[in-house]
Structure 1
């Protein structure tokens, strides 16, 4: 078995490699060549933690495995480590033997950012100039770095429940040479692309905060009850997702479906746009929305890529297991 520790991930995995891996696996999912297993996500009754498993099998890439981990909200304050903790396991699809164990913390951040970045590439208007950020936590910095590579953005605007955190994303904008402005939610109407990355259970971005022609990437809702945007926004938009079954049950679409504003048939796979079997954006004034629920196949794709890189560079640790 090969081991790639968390400490080595930063020197191995790039945003470009994560983007390519996620784009390929979305395409494979839409083509029916890859599928995700049902998600297990539970409150364990200890340390207020949420723990679970995401897995799947990619027939085209022969990638089989799972990610185990979750959210420990007291980690940073009590132990000085990040709240999200995860480990990815890959198995040989021919034999079932374990192939690799990979640190999943940074990879999760990179694959989540890659997913919204892939949606911007395929759904945002080519002339998009202003990007809006809803949320300014740790993951928001990854989201913004990746998104800025997809269009020639000339301005970043941001809003957060706690305004004192906005310097986190202002720093990323400044590093990229793009001016930043803190705005109220109504100010998001000037954005051509909006990324929402919060852990909210009540919507902040409303339908009338979004101008015609905007692409919205909702990246924080991955659990029943969570909600970042008003359900009415999905009714106004062309809705795309990574996994339809997750979108309508634990993703942003769960609320619009429950209220009868949209149906399951109204949610399309982003992979179909990548493959050319769905037209994607059909007009300049159309609102497009990507419901990024986070799927196990994303984790497996980036993990498989990082294992290959670790082997090439002689970094992977081999143990007899």
Structure 2
């Protein structure tokens, strides 16, 4: 099998290539050419860690595999990031393992690419203000990916721990955008596009905060109980997601479904917007993309990086 170490990923996978891979796999999902396997995600009772598996099969690209890993909130004491994962690809013709790929940077890139795809297809026309809720490791990737698909003029930011807002300010400065730390009511009122990327288990952005046409990329909820948005806000919005079954079980929409505020058939697939089978935004409404993070996203970027690694001679061949 081929091995692509984590240290090589940054020199191989660009944000643009990640965007193309994610937009393509969303379209394959909408055309029913690709499907995800049921997610396994468990609190293991050690180091407060969440560990699991996400996998799937893309018949169009002939990509089969899984990502194993999770979230270790105490990793700072080890000097490494909290999200740790590895992607394994398999030969769909034989079932033999084909590749093992470092998944940490790929996870950040594919997560940011997913929200960027939603912004490209669902943001209000003329959107100029980006609101960032959350200043963790992935917020940097999110802001940069958003800026690549839309011409923002300024960035507003909020984080549960204000001392971390320097990360958002630095990223905005790198992009040449003015940044201001604000409270959530002002962020919701002024931002045309809002990215939420936290690990919250209670709603942060409330219904009364959001004014006018807005697109919200809710990227942090990927486990039962997690929540970033007020159910009343979700209930009045037009809803989209990467995969409906995952969204209503472990994503942001689990709460409105459980509360009977929204029927499942009101939730659309972002891939259908990409293919043109769903019109997407139709006016001045609030749209929400629930990015739960599906296994096919990981496989798409991993398969792309394996080919790049082979071409550049940095993939290692291992016999098992």
Q: 3-state DSSP class of the match of 2:249? A: coil
Measured in 1, the distance between the counterparts of 2:295 and 2:41 equals 12
User: Displacement of 1:236 after TM fit?
Assistant: 1.1
Taking the aligned partners of 1:71 and 1:215, their CA distance within structure 2 comes to: 27
The question of whether the paired residues in 2 share the 8 Å contact of 1:66 and 1:88 is answered with yes
> CA separation in 1, counterparts of 2:20 and 2:245?
24
SS of corresponding position for 2:55:
strand
Aligned residues: 319
* Alignment-derived partner of residue 142 in structure 1: 141
What residue in structure 2 maps to residue 58 of structure 1?
A: 58
CA contact (8 A) 1:126 1:151 kept: no
Q: Report the equivalent of 1:49.
A: 49
Where do 5+ consecutive residues of structure 1 fail to align? Answer: none
Q: Which residue of 1 aligns with 2:282?
A: 282
Q: CA shift at 1:212, angstroms?
A: 1.9
What secondary structure, in the 3-state scheme, does the structure 1 residue paired with 2:273 have? helix
**Is contact 1:119–1:290 with CA below 8 Å preserved after alignment?**
yes
CA RMSD between the two structures: 0.7
* TM-score normalized by the length of structure 1: 0.98
Query: Paired residue for 2:84?
Result: 85
Alpha-carbon shift at residue 305 of structure 1 (Å): 0.4
User: For residues 1-80 of structure 1, what are the structure 2 equivalents within 5 Å?
Assistant: 1-77=1-77, 79-80=78-79
Q: Deviations over 1:214-261 (max 9, x none)?
A: 000000000000000101111111000000001111100010111111
1:167 equivalenced with 2:177 (yes/no): no
**What is the alpha-carbon distance in structure 1 between the residues aligned to residue 308 and residue 66 of structure 2?**
19
The residue correspondences of 1:240-279 to structure 2 (distance < 5 A) are 240-279=240-279
Cα displacement string for residues 28-63 of structure 1 (whole angstroms, at most 9, x for unaligned residues): 001100000000001112221111000000000000
What is the deviation of 1:126?
2.9
Output the TM-score relative to the length of structure 2.
0.99
* Residue pair 1:36, 1:295 contacting (<8 A) in 2 also: yes
In structure 1, C-alpha distance between the alignment counterparts of 2:100 and 2:91, rounded to whole Å:
12
The structural deviation recorded for 1:210 is 1.1
Partner of 2:113: 114
